[in-house]
Amino acid sequence: EVQLQESGPGLVKPSQSLSLTCSVTGYSITSNYWGWIRKFPGNKMEWMGYISYSGSTSYNPSLKSRISITRDTSKNQFFLQLNSVTTEDTATYYCATRGGDYWGQGVMVTVSS
Amino acid sequence: DVVMTQTPVSLSVSLGGQTSISCRSSQSLVHSDGNTYLYWYLQKPGQSPQLLIYKVSNRFSGVPDRFSGSGSGTDFTLKISRVEPEDLGVYYCYQGTHYPNTFGAGTKLELK
């Protein structure tokens, strides 16, 4: 059974970095594409980016140079780092496969001082 | 960015009834490889989104045949027949053809 599990702090201060981990079981991250999606308060969803089976990445230009997605294949994990966060980055963050066939349960992150 | 215009914003349906959701993209979703990467998801209350339909009309594993997707180019539709209580939640269309990938604003399905 394929499972994705996000982990990371639920509260981040403005201007600091948000760091999340997605731990994957039942599927090697050296296959497929693995991404991050967030849902803002209300219903708006935003695709943030993904890392491929080879380690290449693609990011949403709206996040400019603030975002980085990396991985540790030995642990079958991939990571999200979002720098210089503001209150507008408050959202529920999900990791998922690119086609959305598998999702994590999501982690709510609040940006607040 | 490709804008996904999803209508209506909310729907009120009777159990056993039928309904549909429209999704229009600001440009064609036909990829250079010939595929159309249009997806439909349902997010039930308190849960993660779940894939219903991929590439316009293909039901994901385990999705009942009450759900059907259709369309081409820029116009797409999700139809739900014989609505059941488990179908309630927010439906999203999503395009994976153009970068950045983008979502519709969501359609909330409620019981009448």
The DSSP code sequence of B74-111 is TEEEEEE-S--GGG-EEEEEEE-SSSSPEE---EEEEE
Size of interface A-B (CB pairs under 8 A): 47
Within 40-69 of A, beta carbons closer than 8 Å to B belong to 43-47, 58, 60-62
pLDDT given for residue B9 in this prediction: 97
User: Nearest-CA neighbor of B104 among A46, A89, A97, A107?
Assistant: A46
Q: Are B29 and B38 in contact (CB under 8 A)?
A: yes
**Confidence tier at B112 by pLDDT (50, 70, 90):** confident
pLDDT given for residue B38 in this prediction: 98
The first and second tokens of residue A101, run together, are 């066939």
CB contact under 8 A, A43 and B48: no
Omega before B64 within 30 of 0, i.e. cis: no
Best mutation target, A2, A6, A37, A43, to test chain B (most B CBs within 10 A)? A43
B111 Cβ contact list (under 8 Å, min separation 6): B12, B13, B14, B15, B85, B88
pLDDT given for residue A64 in this prediction: 77
Distance, first Cα to last Cα, chain B: 35
Give pLDDT tens digits for A33-85. Answer: 999 999 999 889 999 999 999 999 999 999 979 999 999 999 999 999 999 99
Give pLDDT tens digits for B32-77. Answer: 999 999 999 999 999 999 999 999 999 999 999 999 999 999 999 9
CA angle A33, B41, A51 (to 5 degrees): 15
Q: Are A13 and A109 in contact (CB under 8 A)?
A: no
